[in-house]
Amino acid sequence: MPTKEIPQPLLEQIRRCRSIMAFTGAGISAESGVPTFRDAQTGLWAQFSPLDLATPEAFKKHPQRVWEWYEWRRSLVNKVSPNAGHKALTKLLQLFPINTLVTQNVDGLHQASGTDTVLELHGNIHRTICSRDRTMHQTWEPEVKPPRCPDCGAHLRPDVVWFGESLPADTFDGAIRAAQNCELFLSIGTSTTVYPAAELPHTAKNTGALVIEINPTPTPFTAEADWAFAAPAGEFLPHLVERMEALARS
Ligand code: BV8
């Protein structure tokens, strides 16, 4: 049953863990002002579903529309900063000898809050690649939408994983291994509806981790979690770090 208070015995159980894996979704960036993925239909994009824009088919059919949607999201993300949830998570991970951060987000805010190694399952909106050979490009003709690759003339595209595209194999393998081996797994700000990423909390649970969900609203995974805290990440994570540090001092 989702709760808000962290019982002392749970805190002591968390403290005994030597390895942690955090699995985050769009909800951890919500308090920075980044619309969650399924709310990304705000403003001028209200008439489109992200599920219909974040696909290779949409890019093939409407390259300019998809490119401009990403330009709009990139401009949004460039204006925001990591929130208290990102910062607390960076501190929390450092309390454990073995720690892994896996995100579905493409906004780069975990890196901006000081977490060095982030497994980005769905890519990163700040990277742009050639749609033919996936080479990275830093500059392009701003008024051509989408711009053309200077080497081969194919469209440039955001370096994100669209629906129907495979996740980066090494990154996802690393995430699966971490989920299989961690003692503590936090599922933070994700609706656990996008696969294969949404397998990870189940994998952690099935291989014996203590699994905690942090999300203001129930998800398909809530009933399986050992603990579910119905709280925003920006409130819960700083509180958890505070309680952990107090326990370490006691
Ligand atoms: C693939 C990048 C196969 C783009 C994204 C089973 C197995 C495998 C695949 C499938 C399967 N079933 C279905 C599929 C197909 C599909 C899929 O999962 N569809 C869904 C819709 C059913 N999966 C795929 O297509 C994947 N590829 O499987 O390829 C393949 C195999 C062989 C060969 C070729 C192909 C690729 C999926 C990746 C899609 N790309 N993003 C972009 O961002 O533009 S996914 C997108 O959804 C984002 O990355 C987002 O992060 C992610 C998940 O969503 P959430 O992060 O959870 O965000 P959401 O808005 O849903 O929820 C936010 C949550 O936060 C809410 O619960 C809310 O309550 C909470 N919240 C709000 N405020 C706060 C908060 N929580 C805490 N604090 C707060 N303050």
* Alpha-carbon torsion (161, 163, 169, 174), positive or negative: positive
Residue 37 pLDDT: 76
Which pair of tokens denotes residue 88? 């607390």
Q: Which residue has the higher pLDDT, 186 or 44?
A: 186
Whole-Å CA distances, 161 to 105, 120, 172, 218:
11, 10, 12, 26
**Do residues 35 and 42 make contact, with C-beta atoms less than 8 angstroms apart?**
yes
Q: What is the pLDDT of residues 138-166, one digit of tens each?
A: 999 999 999 999 999 999 999 999 999 99
This prediction has a pTM of 0.96
Amino acid at the residue 158? P
pLDDT tier at 119, thresholds 50, 70, 90: very high
Asked whether the beta carbons of 194 and 167 are under 8 A apart, the reply is: no
Active site residues: 122
**pLDDT at residue number 43:** 60
Please tell me the residue having the least CA distance from ligand 1 atom 32. 166
The pLDDT, as a whole number, for residue 35 is 84
Q: Given ligand 1 and candidates 4, 37, 53, which is best to mutate, with the most ligand atoms within 8 Å of its CB?
A: 37
- Pocket (CB within 6 angstroms of ligand 1): 25-28, 30-31, 36-38, 51, 54, 104-106, 122, 160-166, 189-191, 193-196, 214-217, 219, 232-234
Does residue 6 register a pLDDT over 70? yes
Render pLDDT for 66-88 as a digit per residue (tens, 0 to 9).
999 999 999 999 999 999 999 99
What is residue 225's three-state secondary structure? coil
Per-residue model confidence as pLDDT tens digits over 184-202 = 999 999 999 999 999 999 9
Measured in Å, residue 105 CA sits from the centre of ligand 1 at: 9
CB atoms < 10 A from the CB of 208, how many? 11
Q: Which amino acid, 10?
A: L
Distance CA 167, CA 169 (A): 6
